[in-house]
Amino acid sequence: MEKFAMKRVDDFRLQLGKKELIPIVVGGMGVDISTAELALEAARLGGIGHISDAMVPTVSDRRFNTKYVKNKLRQYKYNVANTEKAVVKFDLGLLAEATALHVGRTMEAKRGDGMIFANCMEKLTMNAPRETLRVRIKAALDSGIDGVTLAAGLHLGSFALIEDHPRFRDVKLGIIVSSLRALQLFLKKSARTGRLPDYVVIEGPLAGGHLGFGMDWAQYDLARIVIEIREWMKAEHLDIPLIPAGGIFTGSDAVAYMEMGAAAVQVATRFTVSKECGLPEKVQQEYFKASESDIEVNTISPTGYPMRMLKNSPAIGAGIRPNCEAFGYLLDSNGSCQYIEAYNREVALHPDAKKLHVMDKTCLCTHMRNFDCWTCGHYTYRLKDTTCRNDDGSYRLLSAEHIFRDYQFSTDNKIALPE
């Protein structure tokens, strides 16, 4: 009798327009945790990789030795001690230039049959939400990005912001949602542009980064949301590839979603311990070491979204002076940020303190820039089971290729250890 053949991710393909891809998407991980190197590997292997558009001037400084941050700080230095940050603005020309560098150089280096998308977060409001979002997306399109995944926000006006771009109809555009309601709102508000998204990422409550749920996140279940959205789309005669994300840890987890009708899966946490990932190795060892009780979802992000992270993240409780003159990515349209308010409150309460602690909010720009906010997926505590130990007891980093191929070919919930 023929042996029962268990399915693997490689038995499926993601069809995006004319393109046929391995149905594995490496999700965007902000402030250069999903580096160009990581995205390029995913694309080389026939899947989709993401770079992120979080703090691109900062990333460009690190990647290309530009001086965007230094120059912005010099321009606004006079304001550093001021509690009001509304004067701090981004120069849109420079923002476009930095984006063009980051995206352009990445696309020039692309090899293989896969694609590279940019993760574009609406919550990076940058003291001029519409203008800076438009510039970021347009510069990415100008620089040849294959696709843009709209993230961290409802993006109700984002298609309209770029509808006059010559690539608007041919570039792949997708949106991340965590509920049917968010998808319905997006489709309704974008209908006027006469364009549907090319794919929808459905992100559940076990994902890393910011969550599209309240602090009641644990009551939600990714599979249920996927089925709800799938059934609604069927009833509406809509045919848009669905890409679940959040807690998909093995190839078999992925296959279960593909059999449920998903077109691909988006994964991230397993790649946080890849050599190509932007996290410093010291931090990657913290991810490996973490146990389930070392991970929490908290509300310290000034974006207002809950965020999952390691409890020993240096960002938690740190009371540093806001760095909006150098960064300022989370300043809202009024030039304020929840961290500034929390920080100013603590300064007023403890005027003589040498060191401040701000427990309820964190200076996310600075801490993400310095890899001190260790955001991670729920299953980070399983990363130690995906590798071997070195002689000194540390965990061995993996190649992105190893992790990608493990998702692609593994069966029976197995995880291949490195050679």
Ligand X SMILES: Cc1cc2nc3c(=O)[nH]c(=O)nc-3n(C[C@H](O)[C@H](O)[C@H](O)COP(=O)(O)O)c2cc1C
Binding-site ranges for ligand X (CB under 6 A): 27-30, 33, 52, 54, 119, 121, 151-152, 176, 203, 206-209, 245-248, 266-269, 272, 375-377, 379
* 177: helix, strand or coil: strand
Nearest distance from C-beta of residue 78 to ligand X, angstroms: 31
Nearest distance from C-beta of residue 304 to ligand X, angstroms: 15
Nearest distance from C-beta of residue 205 to ligand X, angstroms: 10
Nearer to ligand X, 73 or 272 (CB): 272
Do 159 and 190 touch, CB atoms closer than 8 A? Answer: yes
Nearer to ligand X, 42 or 206 (CB): 206
Tokens for 255? 């296959």
Nearest distance from C-beta of residue 222 to ligand X, angstroms: 9
Within 8 A by CB and 6+ apart from 12, the residues are 23, 255, 258, 264
* 238: helix, strand or coil: coil
Nearest distance from C-beta of residue 3 to ligand X, angstroms: 31
Nearer to ligand X, 143 or 250 (CB): 250
Tokens for 182? 């968010």
CA–CA distance, 236 with 101 (Å, rounded to integer): 41
Nearer to ligand X, 54 or 101 (CB): 54
Nearer to ligand X, 48 or 337 (CB): 48
Give the residue among 208, 340, 362, 371 at the shortest CA–CA distance from 278. Answer: 371
CA–CA distance, 348 with 341 (Å, rounded to integer): 11
Do 88 and 324 touch, CB atoms closer than 8 A? Answer: yes
CA–CA distance, 316 with 358 (Å, rounded to integer): 8
Nearer to ligand X, 197 or 209 (CB): 209
Q: Alpha carbon of 391 to those of 292, 312, 395, 396, 415: distances in Å?
A: 25, 25, 9, 10, 22
Nearest distance from C-beta of residue 162 to ligand X, angstroms: 18
Nearest distance from C-beta of residue 64 to ligand X, angstroms: 21
Give the residue among 137, 130, 207 at the shortest CA–CA distance from 172. Answer: 137
Nearer to ligand X, 194 or 280 (CB): 280
